[in-house]
Amino acid sequence: MLDNKMKIKKGDTVMVITGKDSKKTGKVLRIFTKKDKIVIEGLNIIKKHNRSRGNQPGGIEEKEAPIHISNVMMFCAKCNKPVRIKKQVLENSEKIRTCSKCGEAFDK
């Protein structure tokens, strides 16, 4: 497991760097900190086969599956590239996450 300090947060835009959805970007919907996995909107789609129960019809449901945090990187809109995160402390002792290449702040 990675360290408990998760650098990616809910609502961030990330790019998948490995796997079947490589080079695709999406917004983070959920974070599983104990498993070091995240769910990204519209990526890593799986098909779940549901059996009909009572009055509910069965069928095939498509949904997003979790992907490991090591397979994604933060996406900087200014650089238009996947980047590493650098943490900075402002004068009012507020900590923000910034792009390591251009210095664009992710926390606003």
Amino acid, single-letter form, for residue 41? E
CA distance 87 to 74: 13
User: What's the DSSP call for residue 19?
Assistant: S
The answer to whether position 36 is within a domain reads yes
pLDDT at 2: 47
CATH code of the domain in which 34 resides: 2.30.30.30
The answer to whether position 91 is within a domain reads no
The answer to whether position 96 is within a domain reads no
The answer to whether position 49 is within a domain reads yes
Closest CA to 75 of 34, 32, 35, 23: 23
CA distance 27 to 72: 11
Give pLDDT tens digits for 34-73: 999 999 999 999 999 999 999 989 999 999 999 999 999 9
Per the structure, how many domains does the chain have?
1
The answer to whether position 98 is within a domain reads no
Integer CA distances (angstroms), 52 to 32, 55, 57, 61, 103, in order: 29, 8, 5, 12, 52
